[in-house]
Amino acid sequence: MDTAAAPSSAASVASAPSKAAEIAAGVALDDAHSETSTVDSGSDSLRSPSEQPDLSGLAFFTRLYEIPMVNDAVSGIYRLAESNRYTGAIIRYAEKAGGLAERSRPLLRPVEKPIAALDDYATRSLELLEARYPIVARPTDEVLESVQTQAKAVEARYPVVARTFAVAKSTANTALDRVDYLVDYVLPPSAAECTSDEDARRDCNGTAEDAGTGDSPLEKVTVLVHKVPHRLGRHYYEQLHASKAAIGSLRQSVKDTVNVYESELSERSHRLLGSVQARMWSTVTAIPGCLPQFAQQYYEHGKEVLVSKAAKLHAEYSRTDQDIRTKVFSLILISGEQVPVLEEITARVFGKAAVGTAEKSPDTDTAAAEKDPGAAP
């Protein structure tokens, strides 16, 4: 049954191009007669054979029909069209339209040269295609057999390729999950980020379940790319604020320590100075009973000097508008007054201007101290 059908189909395929050639020859003959009857002989005689390019047989279509697959496709279409009366009528109408186009060739003479150039370019392109892809010039059966063989080979290799892709995807997902866990461990999220991440993960899981797929490596990489810079920025911002707070607390503690030390030092020195003044006054009051009569006048003078100096020291130390450094400097200058050795030392160390400045201290405290020498701070 199949052996009988094969020769009949081959005969029909072979007869289809011959029948098409007979129809084309008849149309060309009719066109030649119509052209000689409609076209003026005088205008045709003015053209030389070199100026009249022949468009009756374009090389591109000739070369195109020589390709086995194109020839078989045209034959199959022609055979299919003849099997139906409607498509057969369409084919006959197309043949008549082709004959009419041939009869109107004199109107297309201005574009004959561009058409010839286009035909030459198309022919060369077709030759280049045949040279680059030799399978185009092979028979149709051979091409079909080659395509089927390659399709079977690809189908046989598809499970291996699918398994390889599945393993690669699983490995990538595992690695990305570990990286995500490490990022969450090193850079823990805040409470707001945890809430937003849970909502986003829930939405992503719902979308993936609706689509029938899980989290893909690309989605996880996208999440990591957005997560890591945000977490790093927040971490550095928190570290910066913590460092600023630590520096501020350290500065405040140092300041408090200095203030406490200054107040404690001032209080201790004030007490020490008061005790020294009291002992000096008790000593001064006890000395006159031990001195002879002629030495008491010198004693009284020295007593007045010591009392005035103690009053000055007490008044200078009790001032609150000076810091410790200035106060110590003033106390040293006051201590060296009316003592030749100390005055010379202070003049050499601090300068005579400093000594002169110390001599201009207010006398009100001195007068009060002279009136009441026993008054202690």
Asked if pLDDT for residue 191 goes beyond 60, the answer is yes
> At 109, which amino acid appears?
R
Answer whether 70's CB lies under 8 Å from 137's CB: no
Q: Which of 323, 325, 327, 347 is nearest to 336 (CA)?
A: 347
Asked if pLDDT for residue 277 goes beyond 90, the answer is no
Q: Is 184 helix (H, G, I), strand (E, B) or coil?
A: helix
> At 144, which amino acid appears?
L
Measured CA to CA, the distance from residue 372 to residue 377 in angstroms comes to 12
Pull the structure tokens for residue 21. Answer: 């050639």
pLDDT-derived band at 150, boundaries 50, 70, 90: confident
DSSP state of 319: -
Q: Compute φ and ψ for 55, nearest 5 degrees.
A: -105, 5
Calculate the average pLDDT of the chain: 68
Min mean pLDDT across 6-20, 91-105, 171-185, 273-287 is at: 6-20
Answer whether 352's CB lies under 8 Å from 362's CB: no
71-102 residue pLDDT tens: 888 888 778 777 777 777 777 777 777 666 66
284-340 residue pLDDT tens: 677 766 766 666 667 777 777 777 777 777 777 777 777 777 777 777 777 666 555
Q: Give DSSP secondary structure letters for 63-127.
A: HHHHSHHHHHHHHHHHHHHHTSHHHHHHHHHHHHHHHHHHHTGGGGGGGHHHHHHHHHHHHHHHH
Pull the structure tokens for residue 225. Answer: 């790319």
> At 23, which amino acid appears?
I
> At 345, which amino acid appears?
I
Residues 6+ apart with CB under 8 A from 52: 109, 112
Q: Is 220 helix (H, G, I), strand (E, B) or coil?
A: helix
208-264 residue pLDDT tens: 444 344 567 888 888 888 888 888 888 888 888 889 999 989 999 988 888 888 788
What pLDDT, on the 0 to 100 scale, is given for residue 296?
A: 67
